[in-house]
Structure 1
Amino acid sequence: MSENIVMPKLGMTMKEGTIEEWHKQVGDTVESGEGIVTISSEKLTQEIESPVGGELLEINMDTEKVAKVGDVLGVVGQAGESVGSGGPSVQETRAPSSNEKEQGSREDTKKEVRATIQKGNDEQQSGERIFISPLARKLAKEHDLPMERINGTGGNGRITRLDINRVLEHGLDKAEEKKEEPAKAYTAATLEAQPIGEGLNPMRKAIAQNMRESVEQTAQLTLHRKAGADKLIALQKKLREEAESAEVDVKLSLTVLIARATVLALQDFQKMNTRYENGELSQFDEVHLGIATSLEDGLVVPVVKNAEQKPIGILAKEIKEVSTKARDGEANEDALSGSTFTITNMGASGVEYFTPILNLHETGILGVGSLQDELALEDGEVTQIKKVPFSLTFDHQILDGAAAGEFLSILVKYIENPYLLIL
């Protein structure tokens, strides 16, 4: 009996996903449990396994298509078996969605897929657009391969990992195009009509959509201020020595100490520890601290839940744990959601000040810059000191500048009197 391959729900907030790559074509033999298609949500990518062994009878959704949770992506069954005899899916047992009404019947969908495949091949040949899987794109960049000179053999004319391997072994498929394409003239109306994130990979598309939504729904303003860091650095050195002496395996970075200071400041000034969502402003006693973490293809924000309950050592371990899982692609939806305030650190890049964009629905985000050497006059003598620059972006709808400045003053108090972090 045939079985449907449906779009899974990867997280509580997931409503739709993107088909990244079909690993099989219609008519190919499939083993039970074998990876058959890779799909992605805003933050996660997952390979769907075949529920039964047999043959891939039908592909309903081609690569690059967006499907709602529960939509039937394809059908697996025995060779010659009539399609439509598979078990019920989420899509088959619920009322037709607006997406289904737009697509029409299954036959119409198949016609649309065939037309899209032909259109995709035409576009690739004409140079207007290149369809390529994320893995293939990564390999092409690693080997400096011009993607416009590779023939894609995947669905929709998509370049896959197998195409990259073929080119590496036998050479490029196309000769270099000498003729220069005339520059396209884009009008304001044309740009406005383009979907946000069009042509980007799923992660960058999600980032583009979230950042645009954040900017459009808020009145963002950034305040900048420095704090003396000498005492904080001295405390960090002392705690490291104590940890090594006690053989405690914990990495006490300045980021951890700044995170602890931020948590305490949020508890002292709870107006900053808020979320404005669905027309409702919620203020929290708990601090769920987001740690902006850069990846090769984008940025995610893993969350340390109930950070106010964590002493410095535990906070250090949890920040390292959630950041590592995020970079390794092991963080689930719950680990990447629910933050009430976010920290983003660009100190390693040598950046002093910047204007971070609010994480969607949060009231504030703290940007941390690189340590700066400055000269100061102390007791009539010139001395060198270190300062850490902060960039606080906040939603002016929720707070005024004076209130945001008050929060920064509280934060600076903890940074410049760091023993308050452990009392």
Structure 2
Amino acid sequence: MAQVFEFKLPDLGEGLTEASIVTWLVQVGDVVVVDQPVVEVETAKAMVEVPCPYAGVVTARFGEEGTELPVGAPLLTVAVGTPSETDEGSGNVLVGYGTAAAPARRRRVSRRNDTPTAPPVEPAREAASQPAREAEAQQPAPVAETQPAQTRTGPVPVISPLVRKLAREHGVDLRELSGSGPDGLILRSDVENALRESVQVRAAGATGAQTGAVAGAGVGAGVGTEREPFEAELLAPVPTVPTAPGVGTGGIRVPLRGIRGAVADKLSRSRREIPDATCWVDADATELMHARVAMNAAGGQKISVLALLARICTAALARYPELNSRVDLAAREVVQLDEVHLGFAAQTERGLVVPVVRDAHARDAESLSAEFARLTESARAGRLTPGELTGGTFTLNNYGVFGVDGSTPIINHPEAAMLGVGRITPKPWVHQGELAVRQVVQLSLTFDHRVCDGGTAGGFLRYVADCVEQPAVLLRTL
């Protein structure tokens, strides 16, 4: 006789205590094998797949997509044919890990009347089609009629639970949207565009009292203009009761959860604990850019500017190891680290993340370029694992991609320093005693003043600038 086993949200490690369900990968009635991914969840670190340690038939799922669950909460139940089959469970319930590959295809089996099942959270899941379930859960408003009519099957690819919640709260049917992200991924901007089009259509046809009602909601004559922020027009709740004079009636509340919440906590802790200071210098990067052109002309792996700067950083950290350290408050000690695990700031649709290049000190420019490219692609797709987002010892922040020259970034706790790189742009520069147009970059170093003084920080930054201006300086340490 079959036994029913309950699979709970496992301990995610890295201090994570909760996760949001992004996409169910199995349905009630599906046959699963050991270590098959059954659900995709978003944690404060990354979006990962959770493998199930049991083989059998899924009899119940707990939680809709977008639901936030604590560690230890039930995820699903699996009916296993015989007690002996339970020995096949891997016992490996860590997020993102498993000992067997997922099956190439899955077959659906009907549930027998004598099979024990846990009370399903989602009633009549077998009777309703997926599009119908999505429509019933979200109760789409007329806004869906303004979007391209198309039918999706299977889970709707959405960038984050917050986007799914935004669509649900405003009656947008995600199945009728065409995602502008990679592989049709639905982004926040896609949902916002759908809402904006809906408001414009309704505002154009509104007359009399309807026009007054729309204007009272903050969308009247200003619809379609850029003077009114989109969120203030569409997403701010409409007050239903009078408010006191001078008290704001609108605004948006964005939960600090997931990656945004983790970033907020880390930055707040950094500001509380680390007495940071910043120094900066302008450098002539013309020769560095010429060297990169020459390297790429030779063929092979293309070398990125970020990889060259990373190679310079690791050489500088070998000379000034105080900056590759962390402070042990309990022991009142500065711990200098042997390996350089180089983090780099990456802006994604889901917020700011800092992937980590392991053992950067042991990599050459080609290896660094390849690893930067791989991690950046994973970051944009939301597929970074917790291990790829933790353990950094020094961070390289290329804020020049935003078109700015300088910045004083907050140190990525518990690291001791961060090198900031502005845009590389043509500027007047005195070169060999004459005024010339050169490729100039501003470099800034934010450091923990507990681990070193200004002399050490200045020496580190000056060495980096010298290598940028004369890449041949690196030959002394290669």
TM-score range, shorter chain: 0.5 to 0.7
Q: 1:322/1:22 Cα in 2 relative to 1: closer, same or farther (>3 Å)?
A: closer
Does the 8 Å CA contact 2:443/2:465 hold for their aligned counterparts?
Answer: no
* In structure 1, distance between residues paired with 2:265 and 2:418: 18
1:184 deviates by 8.2
* In structure 2, distance between residues paired with 1:36 and 1:3: 15
Does the 8 Å CA contact 2:355/2:389 hold for their aligned counterparts?
Answer: yes
Does the 8 Å CA contact 1:32/1:49 hold for their aligned counterparts?
Answer: no
Per-residue CA shift, 1:149-199, capped at 9, x if unaligned? Answer: 318xxxxxxxx846979x99xx98xx89734435989xxxxxxxxxxx961
| Structure 1, gaps ≥5 residues long | 79-86, 92-109, 111-120, 126-132, 152-159, 186-196
* In structure 2, distance between residues paired with 1:401 and 1:42: 35
Report 1:410-421 matches (<5 A): 410-421=463-474
Does the 8 Å CA contact 1:227/1:415 hold for their aligned counterparts?
Answer: yes
* In structure 2, distance between residues paired with 1:268 and 1:184: 62
Which range is displaced more, 383-392 or 319-328?
319-328
Report 1:12-411 matches (<5 A): 12-21=13-22, 23=24, 29-33=28-32, 37-48=39-50, 51=54, 52-56=56-60, 59=62, 64-68=67-71, 70-77=72-79, 148-150=169-171, 161=174, 178=214, 179-180=216-217, 181-182=238-239, 199-241=255-297, 243-244=298-299, 249-277=300-328, 279=330, 280-378=333-431, 381-411=434-464
Q: 1:136/1:288 Cα in 2 relative to 1: closer, same or farther (>3 Å)?
A: closer
Q: 1:63/1:398 Cα in 2 relative to 1: closer, same or farther (>3 Å)?
A: same
* In structure 1, distance between residues paired with 2:63 and 2:369: 47
1:252 deviates by 1.5
Q: 1:21/1:409 Cα in 2 relative to 1: closer, same or farther (>3 Å)?
A: closer
Give the secondary structure class of the aligned counterpart of 2:385.
coil
* In structure 2, distance between residues paired with 1:233 and 1:363: 29
Give the secondary structure class of the aligned counterpart of 1:233.
helix
Which range is displaced more, 400-409 or 45-54?
45-54
Instruction: Give the partner amino acid of 2:411.
Output: L
Instruction: Give the partner amino acid of 1:7.
Output: L
TM-score, normalised via structure 1 length = 0.67
Q: 1:278/1:16 Cα in 2 relative to 1: closer, same or farther (>3 Å)?
A: farther
| Structure 2, gaps ≥5 residues long | 81-88, 94-118, 120-136, 142-154, 179-190, 204-212, 218-237, 245-252
Instruction: Give the partner amino acid of 2:361.
Output: E
* In structure 2, distance between residues paired with 1:255 and 1:366: 12
Count of matched residue positions in the alignment of Structure 1 and Structure 2: 345
* In structure 1, distance between residues paired with 2:389 and 2:258: 16
Does the 8 Å CA contact 2:326/2:415 hold for their aligned counterparts?
Answer: yes
Does the 8 Å CA contact 2:317/2:323 hold for their aligned counterparts?
Answer: yes
Q: 1:412/1:297 Cα in 2 relative to 1: closer, same or farther (>3 Å)?
A: same
Give the secondary structure class of the aligned counterpart of 2:31.
coil
* In structure 1, distance between residues paired with 2:363 and 2:456: 26
1:380 deviates by 5.4
State the identity as a percent.
Answer: 27
- Give the CA RMSD over aligned residues: 4.4
Who is 1:115 aligned against?
none
* In structure 1, distance between residues paired with 2:375 and 2:161: 27
Superposed structure 1 runs of 4+ greater than 4 Å apart: 21-25, 34-37, 47-51, 60-64, 133-142, 145-148, 160-165, 182-185
1:316 deviates by 2.4
Per-residue CA shift, 1:82-118, capped at 9, x if unaligned? Answer: xxxxx9x999xxxxxxxxxxxxxxxxxx9xxxxxxxx
Q: 1:289/1:329 Cα in 2 relative to 1: closer, same or farther (>3 Å)?
A: same
Per-residue CA shift, 1:289-336, capped at 9, x if unaligned? Answer: 112222221122222222222222333223323333333344322222
Does the 8 Å CA contact 1:267/1:285 hold for their aligned counterparts?
Answer: no
1:29 deviates by 3.4
* In structure 1, distance between residues paired with 2:283 and 2:67: 48
1:49 deviates by 6.1
TM-score, normalised via structure 2 length = 0.60
Q: 1:335/1:278 Cα in 2 relative to 1: closer, same or farther (>3 Å)?
A: farther
